[in-house]
Structure 1
């Protein structure tokens, strides 16, 4: 008997480990609930709820193939070896199959499970699945992991030209086993169930993920490059939560994009090329996680930036977290996050730069807050994005590149549609005043909306000074977009 240990791969189709196990003989699937570990990793309640809802859909789909889905608890991952070994011995399992996961804790967990099983004569197989290329196979000429995305992408393109990763077929139905599926819990202690409004934005299951992918590839990908930066427009794929939980695979996404672009990924439709580029950014950050494990340990990718004199400013941090900074585009973005479990990608950069540059608050505070609220929270992408914005990361924005929230707001939400949606208290303002109500001043200020918590120009100067004082800094210069 074969055991598939499901993790961030909650789908039937194009699931490498599932397909490999089923091809070897009768199979059973298991999923481990690990609430203490999830809390330690700052996994958001809405994300845990999304996992459970997707498990219910997957359990039904597996049930139609007579593959039981079992639920076990290993509160922390160091309990996983014993829990899985007990299950294997109970069911007389010959081999356990997993799809690789990345990050220090994930790697240690899998190595410990493999060792425990092998001592009892049980095989452990792991497969490349959530990436297009195995970490360690896309390297510089000197054999190191890339630190610059454009160079990494070029090698990926060369590899894709010669060998496109193929999709894996779904398993066939097997004979009914004497093992029954477990009921999927509706919640896990310590993780509140999100609002029905939030849940309705993110329906569970492969059918929904595939519908989103098909709709995007058929109708929206052409406009992706031109519309993806405008938060009031439906310009993005809305697939990030499904990718993070493995309800859909990057291979499926790549194939859909190529199909919409006559098989091209460097030419043809600029929207498709841009979206494939985003898939490769996702890939890049996971390779960084493996190649430079310090980023898994809450360390800056660029060691010299560990010396930055971050400010301890709890009141300003709270104002940022609670969407009351007095800068409408920042507050609207933070409300979107708090209410939907998601934030538009352009705005993730804007609010991250505001926190780390204008407020000069440690990027780790922002990274943690995002993980605790994002339904698509992913260690590699979230860490990569925060370190890019704070100029501490790989291929990051130069420290003197600091987004101006007001010009970003005027450029990407010129009519104020996004701001008015999330900050209805400002809906009465004209589109000129909407971006910076503080300009109205005095008696004409907006009742109930706070004044800005920071002066943008003096705080920018403060950030530049802090970075210039680092022992090994980039060349000075400057832009304020």
Structure 2
């Protein structure tokens, strides 16, 4: 009986929700619980976390503080320059409040794993336990393996095993805990900002409202209104065809299990038959899962290294002016520039366009994919190491199960195919709004008339740059 009264500590990280939060449910089920959130600006800067993402974290943490207050779970805020101080801070807090057990949801990056091991060691010396729970993934990394016991390198094979597992034992949803008796511990206020991370413009913040209620509303709207058309409209950047849940998934404001459950309910419980939109979206959830497992199975990708070792020898170009033009959305290739301007203004980019701009940088400009990966992380509100690294290495043909090096998307034909009428281009490139739909994809083709448009000429010849990239890969 006494064990049930032992105090528990919930260590919050990228799991800012009370519904289907495994660590929260386990902690509250084990005894009186208080919560901790560590603010580590130096560490966040080392990880290239975007100011808009840090702001999103803080806004969601405020929303969660209100939810925790309703459960009588006090939220304590502590600040450390980096995670190096985490063991001491967590151990001291446990000592101050008589905590016997710490609960957290597992994070899978190399630095995160090392941090948690150090904290566990410090707590063990004081007789306090630390339990980490599987929460950010559908399956624990290391449990979805090839027949010879290795992590998968090919997505199709990984997906097949995941689907079989989901058919037989779909993951359950953790219930919202019941209200506990007050602990008499005052909660700390969540700061509005953190030094070193500017508060983003109002338009960006308004585009991404905080809170678990908003995440669940978006999920419901997507399932009810757009899931049926997801397979045919997800590649059209001018349409609201995607879920817009990536930022909420990245911050843990909603779980992949909640997303999967909603899709299955809509598709009569079917995983790989029935509604084409549901099947496709479930596949995207498994892609997300795949990259998190890759992060664990192949730690080198957490360390700015290519998955395919031979591609480390690629002769990347040092072209700072071209890199800057790409970053600022002034390459002279409309679909690339429109996508980059969307990123700069909203902290987000349509997934089809992420592939296009990544291929353009790593192939057409032959600039190291790591420059793009870093720039994305510094601007994405949904920046996630596993997904961002996986996507960049896929596009650059340096990663696991990546696109073949000779498959290089032509941005002009992609623009015409997926934004046929130029709606997306004209939304983000107002200087081109006067052009006809057929002209807007490639204004340079206007010749002398192009001089009347205040838009840069292309910084690279697409045909020549394609041959240059193919030659670089062939010579590896």
TM-score class, shorter-chain normalisation, is: over 0.9
**Preserved contact between residue 444 and residue 450 of structure 2 (Cα < 8 Å):** no
Q: What's the offset of the Cα at 1:446?
A: 4.1
Secondary structure at the counterpart of residue 94 of structure 1? strand
Q: Which residue of 1 aligns with 2:66?
A: 60
Q: Deviation digits for residues 47-103 of structure 1, max 9, x if unmatched?
A: 000000000000001001110111001210111000101101011110000000001
Matched, 1:349 2:355: yes
**Preserved contact between residue 167 and residue 271 of structure 2 (Cα < 8 Å):** no
**Preserved contact between residue 136 and residue 291 of structure 1 (Cα < 8 Å):** yes
Q: Deviation digits for residues 415-435 of structure 1, max 9, x if unmatched?
A: 000000000110000011100
Secondary structure at the counterpart of residue 78 of structure 2? strand
Distance 2:200 2:31 in 1: 39
Q: Which residue of 1 aligns with 2:3?
A: none
Q: What's the offset of the Cα at 1:177?
A: 1.3
**Preserved contact between residue 437 and residue 445 of structure 1 (Cα < 8 Å):** no
Q: Which residue of 1 aligns with 2:191?
A: 185
Secondary structure at the counterpart of residue 394 of structure 1? coil
Matched, 1:454 2:460: yes
Distance 2:79 2:93 in 1: 11
Q: Which residue of 2 aligns with 1:426?
A: 432
Distance 1:404 1:295 in 2: 27
Q: Which residue of 1 aligns with 2:52?
A: 46
Q: What's the offset of the Cα at 1:135?
A: 0.4
Distance 2:67 2:299 in 1: 36
Task: Report runs of 4+ in structure 1 exceeding 6 Å deviation.
Answer: none
Gaps of 5+ in 2: 1-6
**Count of paired positions:** 470
Q: Which residue of 2 aligns with 1:479?
A: none
Matched, 1:161 2:167: yes
Q: Which residue of 1 aligns with 2:469?
A: 463
**Preserved contact between residue 432 and residue 453 of structure 2 (Cα < 8 Å):** no
Matched, 1:337 2:340: no
State the Cα RMSD in Å: 0.6
Q: Which residue of 2 aligns with 1:473?
A: none
Q: Which residue of 1 aligns with 2:295?
A: 289
**Preserved contact between residue 426 and residue 446 of structure 1 (Cα < 8 Å):** no
Distance 1:445 1:234 in 2: 34
Q: Which residue of 1 aligns with 2:33?
A: 27
Gaps of 5+ in 1: 471-481
Secondary structure at the counterpart of residue 337 of structure 1? helix
1:93 aligned to which of 85, 93, 99: 99
Q: Which residue of 2 aligns with 1:322?
A: 328
Q: What's the offset of the Cα at 1:445?
A: 2.7
Matched, 1:310 2:316: yes
Q: Which residue of 2 aligns with 1:389?
A: 395
Matched, 1:202 2:184: no
Q: What's the offset of the Cα at 1:447?
A: 2.9
Q: Which residue of 1 aligns with 2:279?
A: 273
Distance 1:259 1:303 in 2: 42
1:128 aligned to which of 113, 134, 140: 134
TM (normalized to structure 1)?
0.97
Matched, 1:368 2:379: no
1:251 aligned to which of 242, 249, 257: 257
Distance 1:211 1:73 in 2: 32
**Preserved contact between residue 72 and residue 183 of structure 2 (Cα < 8 Å):** yes
**Preserved contact between residue 33 and residue 71 of structure 1 (Cα < 8 Å):** yes
TM (normalized to structure 2)?
0.98
**Preserved contact between residue 373 and residue 392 of structure 2 (Cα < 8 Å):** yes
Q: Which residue of 2 aligns with 1:141?
A: 147
Secondary structure at the counterpart of residue 315 of structure 2? coil
Distance 1:445 1:88 in 2: 67
Matched, 1:70 2:110: no
Q: What's the offset of the Cα at 1:444?
A: 3.8
Q: Describe how 1:394-433 pairs up with structure 2 within 5 A.
A: 394-433=400-439
